[in-house]
Chains A and B, each alone.
Chain A
Amino acid sequence: MNVSNLQPNSEINAKILISEANEHKDESYVKMVLRRFLKHRLAVVSAVGLVLISLVALFAPFLAPYDPYAVTGAFGAGPSAQHFLGTDLVSRDALSRLIYAARVSLQVGVGAVAISSVIGTILGLISGYAGGKVDTVIMRIVDVFMSFPHLMLILVVVSIVGSSLTNLILILGLLNWTGMARIVRGSVLSIKQLDYVKASIALGFSTPRILFKHILPNVLAPILVHATFGIANAIMVEAALSFLGLGVQPPTASWGNMLTEAQSMTVLTSQPWLWVPAGVMIVLTVLAVNFIGDGLRDALDPKSIK
Chain B
Amino acid sequence: MLTYIIRRIIIAIPILFGVTILNFLIINLAPGSPVDIMIDPNLPPEALEAQKEALGLNDPFYIQYWTWLLNLFQGNLGYSLVTFQPVIDIISERLGPTILLMLSALIFGLLIAIPLGILSAIKQNSVIDYLATGGAFMGVSIPNFFLGLGLIYVFSLQLGVLPSGGMHTIGAESSFWDTALHFVLPVIVLATAIAGKKIRYVRSSMIETLGQDYLRTARAKGLKETIVVNKHALRNALIPIITVIGLEIPLLFAGAVVTEQIFSWPGIGQLTISSIMSRDYTTLMGLNLIAAFIVLFSNLITDIAYTIVDPRIKFQ
Question: Interface on A for B, CB 8 Å cutoff?
Answer: 140-141, 143-153, 155-157, 159-161, 232, 236, 239-240, 243-244, 246, 256, 259, 262-263, 265, 268-269, 272, 275, 279, 282-283, 286-287, 290-291, 294
CB contacts (< 8 Å) of A291 on chain B: these are 137
Contact of B250 with A146 in the complex, beta carbons under 8 Å = yes
CB contacts (< 8 Å) of B157 on chain A: these are 265, 268-269
Contact of A149 with B18 in the complex, beta carbons under 8 Å = no
Question: Interface on B for A, CB 8 Å cutoff?
Answer: 14-15, 18-19, 22, 26, 29-31, 137-138, 140-146, 149-150, 152-153, 157, 249-251, 253-254, 257-258, 261-262, 272-273, 276, 279, 281, 284-285, 287-288, 291-292, 295-296, 299
Known: A146-B250, A151-B254, A287-B138. A240 touches B18 (CB 8 A): no
CB contacts (< 8 Å) of B281 on chain A: these are 156, 160
List the B residue with the shortest CB-CB distance to A246: B276
Contact of B150 with A159 in the complex, beta carbons under 8 Å = no
List the B residue with the shortest CB-CB distance to A285: B141
Contact of A262 with B276 in the complex, beta carbons under 8 Å = no
CB contacts (< 8 Å) of A265 on chain B: these are 157
C-alpha gap A275/B15 in the complex (Å): 42
Contact of B143 with A283 in the complex, beta carbons under 8 Å = yes
Known: A279-B150, A290-B141. A155 touches B295 (CB 8 A): no
CB contacts (< 8 Å) of A275 on chain B: these are 149
List the A residue with the shortest CB-CB distance to B285: A156
- Contact of B29 (CB < 8 Å), options: A161, A236, A246, A290: A161
C-alpha gap A280/B245 in the complex (Å): 29
Closest 7 CB pairs of A and B: A149-B253, A144-B18, A151-B254, A279-B146, A287-B141, A286-B141, A149-B250
Contact of A144 with B15 in the complex, beta carbons under 8 Å = yes
Contact of A240 with B145 in the complex, beta carbons under 8 Å = yes
Contact of B15 with A147 in the complex, beta carbons under 8 Å = yes
Known: A148-B19, A259-B149, A283-B143. A240 touches B288 (CB 8 A): no
Contact of A148 with B292 in the complex, beta carbons under 8 Å = yes
CB distance from A306 to the nearest CB of B (A): 16
- Contact of B143 (CB < 8 Å), options: A147, A149, A156, A236: A236
Contact of A160 with B149 in the complex, beta carbons under 8 Å = no
CB contacts (< 8 Å) of A145 on chain B: these are 22
Interface centre among B250, B273, B281 (most CB of A within 10 A): B250
Contact of A240 with B19 in the complex, beta carbons under 8 Å = no
CB contacts (< 8 Å) of A240 on chain B: these are 143-145, 258
CB distance from B194 to the nearest CB of A (A): 14
List the B residue with the shortest CB-CB distance to A143: B15
Contact of B149 with A262 in the complex, beta carbons under 8 Å = yes
Known: A240-B144, A268-B149, A269-B157. A149 touches B254 (CB 8 A): yes
Contact of B253 with A147 in the complex, beta carbons under 8 Å = no
CB contacts (< 8 Å) of B14 on chain A: these are 140
C-alpha gap A267/B150 in the complex (Å): 12
- Contact of A268 (CB < 8 Å), options: B144, B152, B272: B152
CB contacts (< 8 Å) of A148 on chain B: these are 19, 22, 250, 288, 291-292, 295
